[in-house]
Structure formats: structure tokens, C-alpha cells
Amino acid sequence: MGFGPDGCRERLDEIVGWMEGEAKKRGWLGYAVGVPGSRYFIKRMVLGAIKKAEKPL
């Protein structure tokens, strides 16, 4: 397992879990990451970032 978009895709659930935990620790519950279904929202954000990273410069 490497870094970059491929590594992020492989570790997607781990990244989403980390981001969800950080959102709770930082008190971001009033934002979109704190609402029901937030795990799906975070996952979509991470996948969007991966897609953006895969685009050629």
C-alpha cells in the first residue's frame, strides 16, 4: 500500500473514520460533518479530493 490517490482509495474507510473522530473532537458537530449521514458526506468529500488529485496538472 502506497501513498497518493491509490493509497487513499485503499485506506478510504480509515481516513473517513479519522476525519469523523477529529470532527467530534474539534466540536464541529454544528457543521455538515455532525449531522446524521455525515460518514457518507465525509466519504464523498474524500473521494472528491482523490479524483482531483488524479487529474493531470
- Nearest alpha carbon to residue 50 among 19, 21, 12: 12
37 DSSP assignment: T
pLDDT digits (tens, 9 = 90+) for 46-57: 999 999 999 987
Domain ranges of the chain: 4-54
Nearest to 16 by CA among 27, 2, 37, 55: 37
| pLDDT at residue 10 tops 90 | yes
Q: What is the pLDDT of residues 14-45, one digit of tens each?
A: 999 998 888 888 877 666 655 667 788 889 99
Q: How far is CA 30 from CA 5, 23, 24, 39, 42, in A?
A: 29, 10, 10, 15, 14
Grid coordinates given for 9: 482509495
CA atoms within 13 A on the CB side of 45: 13
